[in-house]
C-alpha cells in the first residue's frame, strides 16, 4: 500500500493530499530512510512522522483498503510520541 493512502485510511493524517505534501517534503521516514508518498508500506514497517512540533513513531500492524473510524487505530501501534518544547525568554 502507498504511504499517502495508509496515512489517510489510518486517519493519522486526514487528507491524502496533505499526506503527500508532508512525505514529499522529507518529513517521513520508513525504517530510517526518507520516504516519498508513493513508497510502498509493509506490515511491521516503522514510520517516523515529523509534524510541526511533534514527532510520531508508529509500527504498521495492518494494511486495509478501507476502514471505519473506530477501527482505524488497529492499523498501527504508537511506539513513541515526542513534543518539542519551545521556551520564550521574554519576561
72 burial type by CB count under 10 A (0-12 exposed, 13-18 middle, 19+ buried): middle
Mean pLDDT of the chain, nearest integer: 87
Specify the CATH class of 3-83 in words.
alpha beta
Residue 50's Cβ-count burial label (10 Å; 0-12, 13-18, 19+) is middle
> CA neighbours within 13 Å on the CB side: how many for 31?
8
**pLDDT confidence of residue 91:** 46
Nearest CA to 10 out of 32, 24, 25, 28 is that of 28
Which residue pairs from 4-7 have beta carbons closer than 8 angstroms and sit at least 24 positions apart in sequence? 4/37, 4/38, 6/41, 6/60, 6/63, 6/75, 7/49
Give the start-to-end residue ranges of the domains of the chain: 3-83
Residues 21-54: pLDDT tens digits? Answer: 998 898 999 999 999 988 899 999 999 999 888 9
pTM to 2 decimals?
Answer: 0.81
Residue 57 has pLDDT above 60, yes or no: yes
Q: Mean pLDDT, to the nearest integer, of 54-76?
A: 87
Amino acid at each position: 500500500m502507498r504511504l499517502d493512502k495508509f496515512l489517510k485510511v489510518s486517519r493519522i493524517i486526514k487528507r491524502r493530499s496533505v499526506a503527500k505534501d508532508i512525505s514529499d517534503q522529507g518529513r517521513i521516514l520508513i525504517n530510517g530512510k526518507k520516504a516519498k508518498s508513493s513508497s510502498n508500506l509493509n506490515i511491521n514497517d516503522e514510520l517516523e512522522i515529523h509534524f510541526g512540533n511533534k514527532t510520531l513513531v508508529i509500527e504498521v500492524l495492518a494494511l486495509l483498503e478501507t476502514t471505519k473510524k473506530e477501527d482505524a487505530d488497529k492499523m498501527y501501534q504508537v511506539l513513541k510520541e515526542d513534543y518539542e518544547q519551545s521556551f520564550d525568554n521574554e519576561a
